[in-house]
Chains A and B, each alone.
Chain A
Amino acid sequence: MTTISAAPRRAGSGAGPGDPPDRTRRGLRRVRPTQWAALAFAAPLLTYLVVFYAFPLYRNIELSVHDYNVRAFVQGNAEFVGLDIFRDVVGSGTFPVAVRNTAIFVVVSLVFQYALGLALAVFFRTSFRLSAVLRGMFLVPWLLPLIVSASTWSWMLNGDNGIVNSVLGAFGIGQINWLTDPSLAIWSVTIANIWLGIPFNLVILYSGLQNIPGDVYEAASLDGANAWQQFWRVTFPLLRPVSAITLLLGFIYTLKVVDVIWVMTTGGPANASTTLAVWSYREAFGTGQPAFSPAAAVGNVLILVALVIGLVYVQVQRRQEKAA
């Protein structure tokens, strides 16, 4: 059972918080005949996972260890080349650029999304007039189709006619080519992505804050702690488990972003805003000449990273459950 859940649906849970594992085991022995029923109910999911997850992933790995061109792709007789493709990918000039861009995109996005999300969550912690409505409005960026937000941002950041430049122009700042300047493109897509991620951080951190009981704050203010001290000595430490989960999930979501960057810059100019995920997408689908093998190899690198983060995530959760 999770301990940091904020969802009200748990409130009516019949099982006690510390539902001991031995009770579970005893229950299992008692209901053994229903294992067939359980299997029957889970069968659609298990089939689904094999056919629509395991198989595509297997195909993906297979693509990355064969030398596929378009003809071999249809006929299925590509030559087995082992890890050659991985070596080519890592050795190519795009690789360091893509890794650097991915690092900028992910780290800068996470830092700002988290900081702004947390600040807003603290701001919304105690209710005030209209607070629920305004908090709801903050969800909008997260709910819009990514392509909608991305195209809006690319028009706002347009060098010649964008609103951002005309506002900056009013302060005497000359034209900035947000999306076409190679040294700026990655930062521009990062800005858009920060905006997209704030709602997610706000919602989770807000629900984490709601689970910190009010009397902790009352005790702190009785002890003479001001708002700043309360934040650093009470809120921030007590929020650490929720923060860890938020950042881990944010990392994974940001790592696999393609659409935002693709719509705004297609990873360009040249490779200036190409991340690993965008690189993979472009190799496979972005040009007239699909190169599935390198694309799959880059994709597998991404899966590996996601798997490591997934293990960390489970580890963090387990530690939190033990501590609770």
Chain B
Amino acid sequence: MSTLTPARPRPAARVAGPRRTWWKTALGLLFTAVMLFPVYWMVNVSLTQTRDLRRDPPSVLPLNPTFEGYEAVFRQQLPNLGTSLVLGLGCVALTLVIAAPAGYAIALLRLRGRGPLNFLLLVAQMIPAVVMAMGFYAIYVRLGLLNTLPGLIVADSTVAVPFAVLLFSAFMSGIPREMIQAATIDGAGVWRVFRSIVLPMSRNSVLTVSLFAFLWAWSDFIFASTLNRNGNFLPITLGIYNYIGNNTTQWNAIMATAVVASIPAAVLLVVAQRYVAAGVTAGAVKD
């Protein structure tokens, strides 16, 4: 078990020369192609002419592409994309404002009762969204928050906040205590230490948390379909869902919407892959 301690560099000799591993590259390409086939298929269908949708066998390559589907997206779904953007950013802001100070309190100010609090946060992540949705629904009905964006932002943030607090406190407990002591000796107060030392040093955690909070809010379907289904501002996930319900023949338009809805995920993967991987691992492996 002691072999599992982190940061043991692997000897460079393990990386074999390119000649011995070309077959692995070939195999890896094959695996990736199989894995990503559904994604390719989504793009392919989104470019297919409506009359070719029911062709048998379906054309594997979009040789005769059409942008009808995408035109439909830009005619009908632009407001929904805007709504999703607002939702995502709102959720990021709310999550950061709540989670970063809490992480500081738990990790560095040694908040009393942080053990039970950590356990609560862990369990909070396990509560099914459908249960939370019912609770929120019951509350929002009375408060008139149904079908409002702030209501949906709050509900969406419940997915991200426990994760964010755990991530922040795990990272911040690794900040060298000497730095904080030095600042304290120089006369910095608790708030000053937080703002000028802890937050800047936690930049990577802030990025990881923001990324996940955004993606989760952007992808949310359960809260949107329960708390916001008659709202004036529908997120893109509901846009797709209503599309499926209304015109099942227009699968090229549905898939075009799906492609557009996937853009943030694709962008974030390209720009911030290592934060994604860090977040996935942190969600699973933490104190």
Contacts and interface: CB of A to CB of B under 8 A. Distances in A.
Interface string B220-251: 01100110000000001100110010000001
A17 B5 contact: yes
Contact of A152 (B38, B128, B130): B38
A57 B131 contact: yes
B258 to A, nearest CB: 4
Interface in B260-287: 261-262, 265-266, 268-269, 273, 276-278, 280-287
B13 to A, nearest CB: 8
A324 to B, nearest CB: 5
A299 B130 contact: yes
Nearest to B110: A28
B130 A45 contact: no
A214 B11 contact: yes
Chain B, interface size category, equals 35 or more
A222 interface: no
B161 interface: yes
Interface string A181-212: 00000000000000100111001100110111
Contacts of A108: none
Interface in A270-300: 277, 280-281, 284-285, 292, 295-296, 299-300
**Among A57, A152, A245: residue with most chain B CB under 10 A:** A152
A127 B15 contact: yes
B1 interface: yes
Contacts of A76: 142
Contacts of B226: 284-285
Given A145-B262, A241-B1, A245-B285, A38 B112 contact: yes
B74 interface: no
B126 interface: yes
Contacts of B41: 152, 155-156, 163
A73 interface: yes
A15 interface: yes
Contacts of B165: 45
Nearest to B211: A143
A226 interface: no
B147 to A, nearest CB: 14
A37 B3 contact: no
Interface string A144-159: 1111110111011000
B197 interface: no
B188 interface: no
A3 interface: yes
B111 A38 contact: yes
Contact of B221 (A34, A126, A259, A300): A259
A33 B53 CA distance: 69
B129 interface: yes
A130 B28 contact: yes
Contacts of A163: 41, 58
Given A11-B7, A52-B154, A74-B141, A148 B31 contact: no
B45 A307 contact: no
A310 B120 CA distance: 10
A55 B154 CA distance: 13
Contacts of A292: 134, 137-138
A141 interface: yes
B29 interface: yes
A65 B56 CA distance: 53
Contact of B285 (A52, A59, A242, A256): A242
A160 B54 contact: yes
A15 B174 contact: yes
Contacts of B7: 8, 10-11
A229 interface: no
B276 A139 contact: yes
Given A49-B124, A139-B273, A5 B281 contact: yes
A142 to B, nearest CB: 8
B133 A285 contact: yes
Nearest to B240: A147
A108 to B, nearest CB: 19
A140 B36 contact: yes
A140 B265 contact: yes
Given A130-B28, A145-B262, A284 B137 contact: yes
The 6 A-B pairs at the shortest CB distance, nearest first, are namely A56-B135, A145-B219, A38-B109, A256-B128, A14-B176, A45-B102
Given A15-B173, A41-B111, A204-B284, 6 more contacts: A24-B110, A38-B111, A56-B136, A126-B16, A155-B41, A161-B58
6 contacts: A17-B5, A55-B135, A141-B38, A296-B131, A299-B134, A306-B126
Interface of A: 1-15, 17, 24, 27-28, 31, 34-35, 37-42, 44-45, 48-49, 52-53, 55-60, 62-63, 73-74, 76, 120, 123-124, 126-131, 134, 136-149, 151-153, 155-156, 160-161, 163, 166, 169-170, 195, 198-200, 203-204, 207-208, 210-218, 238, 241-242, 245-246, 249, 252, 255-256, 258-259, 263, 277, 280-281, 284-285, 292, 295-296, 299-300, 302-303, 306-307, 309-310, 313-314, 320, 323-324
Interface of B: 1-8, 10-11, 13-16, 18, 21-22, 24-25, 27-29, 31-32, 35-36, 38-39, 41-42, 45, 53-54, 56-58, 97-99, 101-102, 104-106, 109-112, 117, 119-120, 122-139, 141-142, 154-155, 157-158, 161, 165, 170-171, 173-178, 190, 194, 204-205, 215, 218-219, 221-222, 225-226, 236-237, 240-241, 244, 251, 254-255, 258, 261-262, 265-266, 268-269, 273, 276-278, 280-287
